[in-house]
Amino acid sequence: MKKVLVVGCGAIGSLFAAHLAKAGEVEVFVFDVSQPHIDAINRDGLRLSGASDIHVKLAKASTDPAELPVCDYGIVATKAIHTASAIKAAARCFDSHSAVCSVQNGVGNEELIAEHVKYVIRGTTFPAGHVKSPGHVGFDIKGDTWVGPFEPTRTPMGRVEELAGYMMRGGMNTIALPDARGAQWTKLIFNAATNPVGALTRLHHGAATRFDATGELFEALIQEGEAVAKAVGIALHGNPRDLVAKGANAPGKHNASMLQDVLATRITEVDFMNGAIVKWGEKCAVPTPLNRAMWSLIKGLEHSWTEP
């Protein structure tokens, strides 16, 4: 039986770990820095509630990669700001045959993973959740996951399809694409529009979408991101507006991940979202004043926590 290591078992990592373990086709291991979360998973199993109710036992969860075996596949689900340190720590769990997939927000994570792993899979995912308590994650929104080879590493398509199959049969609807850049940029533009607005206004996703002022700002940010994607040569895979509508129509009141970070006074992923659009805009001579404003405001908010 093949082995899969989930690097980062917060909300998103827990969704993948639980569904993969539920299918029973692979052994699932977890590496995370939260000792209470790891202890609860090893003692009581990993539980999801909400959009799906799942309670599973994993092969092993640990805060120390030295306790974990070499795995055939990896799924990196940390916050983008932790990618470099997490993959450096977990690198011993992968060898020259392993393939590691990012399912993280923003762009730029695959490049960091490729510094330590031979085969990298580009991925993006729409499902969302939040940690309710150690070992228990609320599954807020279902959705698709798109994966494809990370071009510089020449990852064989067969490896992408095999991992996608495990995810799909576990209940995470996963589409393997020869080129996943369009899907990644569609999610990037969605995130760059909705996350900072939610974080700054403290409106949950549905409320921010339906309030005219913030809904119009979503649209303006999306248009700016689309202009950058076009200049880069990215053909979007779907419409970011459809993701906005899907999130707004999900049951309950889902806070964007950046709002969850702000409420907990954690550093956000804004550099990998709005910051990335600004950087690509500069490379392609496309103005991005709204994304730059969102980036500046979120960075200022982060600064206020350490230098009030």
For residue 228, the domain's CATH number is 1.10.1040.10
> What residues contact 242, with CB distance under 8 A and at least 6 apart?
none
Output the pLDDT for position 307: 76
* Domain end among 176, 205, 238: 176
Output the pLDDT for position 43: 96
What average pLDDT does the segment 46-57 reach? 94
> What residues contact 179, with CB distance under 8 A and at least 6 apart?
148
Is pLDDT above 90 for 308?
no
Report how far residue 105's alpha carbon sits from residue 8's, in angstroms, rounded to the nearest whole number: 13
CA distance readout (Å), 238 to 128, 164, 235, 247, 280: 18, 19, 9, 15, 20
What are the b/e assignments for 88-106, b being 16+ CB within 10 Å?
A: ebbbebbeeebbbbbbbbb
Model confidence at 147, pLDDT cuts 50, 70, 90, reads: very high
Q: Is residue 308 part of a domain?
A: no
Model confidence at 252, pLDDT cuts 50, 70, 90, reads: confident
Output the pLDDT for position 51: 87
Q: Mean pLDDT, the chain, as a whole number?
A: 95
pTM: 0.89
Domain that residue 296 falls in: 181-303
122 lies in the same domain as 213: no
Model confidence at 250, pLDDT cuts 50, 70, 90, reads: confident
What average pLDDT does the segment 258-263 reach? 94
169 lies in the same domain as 189: no
169 lies in the same domain as 186: no
Is pLDDT above 90 for 249?
no
With H, G, I as helix, E, B as strand and everything else as coil, classify residue 289: helix
Given a contact cutoff of 8 angstroms between Cβ atoms, the answer to whether 89 and 125 are in contact is no
Report how far residue 305's alpha carbon sits from residue 32's, in angstroms, rounded to the nearest whole number: 25
Output the pLDDT for position 251: 79
